């Protein structure tokens, strides 16, 4: 019922007149539903007051979804600003023609980086006084002001000046030339925990720091504190904007948050069967013979492996969907391929699509399922799919031929 087109911006035909959008789906791909992404933006914005804006976190190639297409979509759907982790991620968005404010969440420590930030009209995070001095000194050479964001550490113990030193830090920044204070913010460490006590302890520290600033006549233009989890459960933490990442992509930071808004997963991972064969009983499958058949079996080879982001530790535990039915992966997952037991599937054939993450008829496998099996988090699963898997835009029938 759906078709896909490349969202990478490359040409769709080669000199033999084959459509690249078809060629790149001969092996394996990541399928992106931009309509689901827009839906999630709308759902999240309904939780916000009119004074609170949505900053979409599109770092790590938009959590593996494709930063440019995601940024364009969320801005069209109502987000007002973007956040990335690195300078390179910000430049990539600017080169794509995106003009919205872009906050760099990571620490910037060299004059070369600051010069590039100023050139591309990006907004850095200032984490400590020496960094602020370097930024101001660099900008003085060009006499060009720059919007900056101050980060306070209220309990994450990562980037930022300790919250109780926030007044001194902000006073320094206000005195330095060419630095325009755009916001003060912090980051939550445990907002997805069912016990909110530490989240509210961090909030108390943040409020105290801001009150201390105001007592010294320093009024930040904007404050922001909430990540996805806090955006879902704590309106009092929304302030002037919220920084939302995982929830944009249709996943919940924790199971107890699922009932708050209906989100739709944006990403699916699919591959094709490249060979089907029969093996007798007592036959080893794949490297190390981690699986030995206990009966005659029909197996399918699928063109995707750990070099694409399918964790090898899922070997002999992974399930996939074919024609709406589940099939078990067998043997060690290899670099480029994996094997399935398809003995119970009568009509399976070479070229059939295998859904590793996503929906097939009334069945679904999510990144959360993988994460729970591996003892990790869904963020890591999403970010693990490698770039040799093309990101393909999912299109409805009426949208066929439209390249995102």
Binding residue ranges for substrate:
158, 335
Positive or negative, the Cα torsion across 73, 77, 83, 85? negative
Strand partners, 151: 185
Q: Residue 235 to residues 73, 174, 241, 388: CA-CA distances in angstroms?
A: 25, 30, 11, 40
Q: Residue 189 to residues 49, 107, 230, 244, 395: CA-CA distances in angstroms?
A: 24, 18, 11, 14, 37
Known binding residues are 158, 335
Active site residue ranges? 59, 287
Q: Which two tokens stand for residue 100?
A: 């919205």
Q: In this structure, are strands 146-153 and 53-57 parallel, antiparallel, or unpaired?
A: unpaired
Give the integer Cα–Cα distance in Å for 71 and 286: 41
Give the integer Cα–Cα distance in Å for 125 and 107: 6
Give the integer Cα–Cα distance in Å for 243 and 53: 9
Beta strands in 63-178 (DSSP E): 81-84, 102-107, 123-126, 146-153, 161-162
Please choose, from the candidates 75, 122, 120, the residue with its C-alpha nearest in 3D space to the C-alpha of residue 103. Answer: 122
Give the integer Cα–Cα distance in Å for 62 and 388: 16
Q: In this structure, are strands 223-224 and 338-341 parallel, antiparallel, or unpaired?
A: unpaired
Give the integer Cα–Cα distance in Å for 7 and 253: 27
């Amino acid at each position: 019922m759906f078709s896909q087109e490349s969202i990478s911006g490359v040409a769709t035909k080669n000199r033999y007149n084959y459509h690249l959008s078809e060629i790149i789906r001969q092996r394996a791909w990541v399928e992106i539903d931009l309509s689901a992404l827009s839906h999630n933006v709308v759902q999240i914005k309904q939780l916000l007051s009119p004074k609170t804006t949505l900053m979409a976190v599109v770092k790590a190639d938009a959590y593996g979804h494709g930063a440019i297409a995601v940024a364009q979509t969320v801005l069209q759907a109502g987000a007002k600003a973007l956040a990335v982790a690195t300078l390179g991620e910000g430049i990539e968005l600017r080169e794509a023609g995106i003009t919205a404010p872009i906050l760099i969440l990571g620490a910037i420590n060299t004059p070369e980086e600051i010069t590039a930030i100023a050139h591309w009209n990006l907004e850095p995070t200032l984490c400590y006084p020496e960094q602020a001095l370097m930024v101001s000194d660099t900008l003085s050479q060009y006499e060009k002001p720059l919007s900056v964001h101050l980060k306070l550490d209220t309990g994450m113990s990562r980037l930022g000046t300790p919250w109780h030193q926030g007044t001194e830090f902000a006073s320094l920044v206000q005195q330095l030339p060419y630095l325009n204070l755009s916001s003060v913010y912090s980051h939550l460490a445990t907002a997805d925990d069912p016990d909110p006590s530490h989240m509210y302890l961090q909030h108390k520290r943040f409020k105290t720091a801001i009150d201390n600033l105001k007592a010294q006549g320093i009024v930040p233009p904007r404050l922001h504190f909430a990540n996805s989890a806090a955006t879902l459960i704590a309106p009092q933490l929304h302030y002037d904007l919220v920084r939302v990442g995982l929830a944009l992509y249709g996943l919940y930071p924790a199971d107890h948050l699922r009932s708050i808004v209906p989100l739709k997963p944006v990403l699916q991972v699919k591959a094709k069967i490249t060979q089907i064969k029969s093996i007798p009983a007592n036959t080893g499958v794949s490297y190390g013979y981690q699986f030995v058949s206990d009966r005659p079996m029909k197996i399918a080879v699928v063109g995707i492996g750990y070099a694409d982001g399918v964790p090898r530790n899922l070997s002999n535990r992974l399930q996939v969907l074919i024609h709406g039915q589940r099939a078990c992966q067998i043997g060690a997952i290899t670099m480029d391929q994996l094997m399935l037991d398809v003995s119970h599937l009568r009509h399976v054939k070479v070229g059939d699509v295998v859904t590793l993450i996503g929906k097939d008829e009334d069945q679904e496998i999510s990144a959360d399922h993988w994460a729970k099996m591996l003892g990790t988090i869904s963020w890591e699963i999403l970010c693990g799919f490698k770039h040799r898997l093309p990101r393909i835009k999912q299109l409805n029938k009426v949208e066929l031929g439209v390249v995102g």
